[in-house]
C-alpha cells in the first residue's frame, strides 16, 4: 500500500514538472513573437570567437530580434579570434543593425571587432583605439647562463627555433618577425578603414598604437556618438523602428525538468519568479 502511494506521489511530481516545463516553453515562445533587441557581451581578453559568433548567428536568424547591441569591454586579445568576430559582425550588419556600446575599455582587438558595426557608441571616458600589433618574446639567456642551464637544439630548419627563450633574436630573425608584425598591422588598418568607411591613409596616421578617450575617438572618426549602454539600446530601438521601451534579451540558460529534478533552479525559471595565442595580440 505504501509502495503504491509512493509511486502515485512520484508520478504526480513528474507530471507537475513536465507541465511546468511546457508552461515555461510556451511563455518563452509568447515572448519571442515581440520585437526585441539582443544584447551580446564581449568582456575580458578575446581568446576565442565561437561563443560570440554563435550568439550573433542565432540572433540574426531570430525574426523577433530587430537589432543587436554588442557591449564591448575588452583590452584586446588574439589576432585570429578578433578577425573572426570582425567578419561575423560585418556579415550580421548586412542583415540587422549592430550597435556597439563601449564600456571601460574597447582597445586593440576590442576596437577591431567594433569597427564594422552599424554604429559605434563610447562613453566619454572609454579607453579605445590602440590600433597596433605587439609580440613579446622573453629572453632568459642571462639568467640561464648564471644558473648553468643550457638548451641543446636539434632542428631541420634554420629559423625553427626562432624566438627561443634560451637566446636573443638576431638581426635576420628580427627582420622576419617585424615583417609578420607589419603585415598583420596592415590587415588591422585595412579592417578599420573598411569597417569605418575611412581612407586607409587617414587610419594609418592614427594607427601607431596610441589610445584615445571616447571623446577623442569621436573626433578622430573612430566612434560615432557618446553615451552609455542604456543610450545605445535606445539608439538601437530607434534604428530598428521599435516604438516605446524595447525588450532586451541576452544569453541565458535553457530550463529543463531534468535540472529541477537535480535540485537546480535554472536562470530562465528565475526570470518568472520575482523573488526567486599566438603570442602577438591586438593589445594596448
Q: Which residues lie closer than 8 Å to 259 by C-beta, 6 or more apart? A: 265, 266
Which letter does DSSP use for residue 46 in this model? B
Q: What pLDDT score was predicted for residue 49?
A: 94
Pairing of strands 127-129, 211-212: antiparallel
Name the E strands within the chain.
36-43, 65-74, 77-78, 97-107, 119-122, 127-129, 211-212, 225-226, 247-250, 281-282
Q: What pLDDT score was predicted for residue 258?
A: 46
State pLDDT tens for residues 16-34.
766 666 555 555 544 445 6
Q: What pLDDT score was predicted for residue 137?
A: 82
* Region of residue 148 (left: phi > 0; alpha: psi -120 to 50; beta: else): left
Per cent of the chain over pLDDT 90 is: 57
Q: What pLDDT score was predicted for residue 5?
A: 59
pTM, entire model = 0.76
State pLDDT tens for residues 214-245.
999 999 999 999 999 999 999 999 999 988 88
Q: What pLDDT score was predicted for residue 19?
A: 64
Q: What pLDDT score was predicted for residue 138?
A: 86
CB-based contact 223:125 (threshold 8 Å) = no
| 32-133+206-282: CATH superfamily | 2-enoyl-CoA Hydratase; Chain A, domain 1 (3.90.226.10)
Rounded to 5 degrees, φ, ψ at 124 are -60, -30
Q: What pLDDT score was predicted for residue 252?
A: 61
Residues designated catalytic = 108, 160
Q: What pLDDT score was predicted for residue 257?
A: 47
Q: pLDDT means per 10 residues in the chain (284 residues)?
A: 58 64 55 75 94 95 94 94 97 96 96 97 97 86 85 84 82 90 95 96 96 97 97 95 88 51 44 37 47
Q: What pLDDT score was predicted for residue 267?
A: 43
Q: Scan for cell 511546457, then name that residue.
A: 22
Which pairs from 148-151 meet CB under 8 Å and 24+ separation? Answer: none
Amino acid at each position: 500500500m505504501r509502495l503504491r502511494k509512493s509511486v502515485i506521489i512520484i508520478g504526480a511530481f513528474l507530471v507537475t514538472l513536465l507541465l511546468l516545463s511546457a508552461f515555461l516553453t510556451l511563455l518563452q515562445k509568447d515572448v519571442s513573437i515581440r520585437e526585441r533587441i539582443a544584447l551580446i557581451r564581449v568582456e575580458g581578453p578575446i581568446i576565442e570567437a565561437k561563443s560570440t559568433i554563435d550568439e550573433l548567428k542565432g540572433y540574426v536568424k531570430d525574426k523577433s530580434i530587430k537589432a543587436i547591441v554588442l557591449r564591448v569591454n575588452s583590452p584586446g586579445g588574439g589576432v585570429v579570434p578578433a578577425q573572426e568576430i570582425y567578419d561575423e559582425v560585418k556579415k550580421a550588419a548586412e542583415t540587422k543593425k549592430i550597435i556597439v556600446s563601449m564600456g571601460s575599455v574597447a582597445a586593440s582587438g576590442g576596437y577591431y571587432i567594433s569597427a564594422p558595426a552599424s554604429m559605434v557608441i563610447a562613453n566619454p571616458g572609454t579607453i579605445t583605439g590602440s590600433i597596433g600589433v605587439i609580440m613579446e618574446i622573453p629572453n632568459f639567456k642571462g639568467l640561464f647562463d648564471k644558473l648553468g642551464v643550457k638548451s641543446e637544439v636539434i632542428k631541420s630548419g634554420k629559423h625553427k627555433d626562432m624566438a627561443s627563450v634560451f637566446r636573443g633574436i638576431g638581426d635576420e630573425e628580427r627582420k622576419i618577425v617585424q615583417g609578420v608584425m607589419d603585415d598583420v598591422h596592415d590587415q588591422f588598418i585595412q579592417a578599420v578603414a573598411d569597417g569605418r568607411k575611412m581612407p586607409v591613409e587617414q587610419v594609418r596616421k592614427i594607427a601607431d598604437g596610441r589610445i584615445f578617450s571616447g571623446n577623442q575617438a569621436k573626433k578622430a572618426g573612430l566612434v560615432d556618438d557618446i553615451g552609455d549602454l542604456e543610450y545605445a539600446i535606445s539608439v538601437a530601438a530607434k534604428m530598428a523602428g521599435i516604438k516605446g521601451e524595447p525588450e532586451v534579451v541576452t544569453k541565458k540558460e535553457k530550463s529543463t525538468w531534468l535540472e529541477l529534478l537535480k535540485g537546480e533552479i535554472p536562470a530562465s525559471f528565475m526570470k518568472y519568479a520575482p523573488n526567486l595565442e599566438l603570442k602577438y595580440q591586438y593589445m594596448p
